[in-house]
Structure 1
Amino acid sequence: MPSMTDTAKAFFDACETGKGWEVCRAYCRPDATFSAQAEPLTDVHMLQQYAEWMRGMLIVLPDGSYHVKSFAADNERNNVCVYAVFSASHTGPGGPVPPTGRKTDTDYVYVMEFDGGKIRHMTKIWHAGWAMRELGWAG
Structure 2
Amino acid sequence: MTTESVATTARAFFDACETGRGWSECSAFCRPDATFAAQAEPLAEMTTLAEYTEWMKDMFTPLPDASYSVRSFAFDPERNNVCVYAVFTGSHTGDGGPVPPTGRSTRTDYVYVMELDDGRISHLTKIWNAGWALRELGWGE
Residues 1:81 and 2:83 aligned together: yes
What letter matches 1:106 in structure 2? Answer: T
**Aligned counterparts of 1:25 and 1:58: Cα–Cα separation in 2:** 19
CA positional deviation for 1:58: 1.0
Matched residue count: 139
Could you list the structure 1 runs, at least 4 aligned residues long, displaced by more than 3 angstroms after superposition: none
- Matched residue, 1:107: 109
**Aligned counterparts of 2:77 and 2:44: Cα–Cα separation in 1:** 29
| SS of structure 2 residue aligned to 1:94 | coil
What letter matches 1:104 in structure 2? Answer: T
Identity score, percent: 69
Structure 1: gaps spanning 5 or more residues: none
Which of 116, 124, 130 lines up with 2:118 in the alignment?
Answer: 116
**Aligned counterparts of 2:25 and 2:61: Cα–Cα separation in 1:** 17
What letter matches 1:31 in structure 2? Answer: D
Structure 2: gaps spanning 5 or more residues: none
| SS of structure 2 residue aligned to 1:56 | helix
Residues 1:131 and 2:117 aligned together: no
What's the Cα RMSD here? 0.9
**Aligned counterparts of 1:101 and 1:3: Cα–Cα separation in 2:** 40
- Matched residue, 2:8: 6
**Aligned counterparts of 2:55 and 2:62: Cα–Cα separation in 1:** 11
What letter matches 1:36 in structure 2? Answer: A
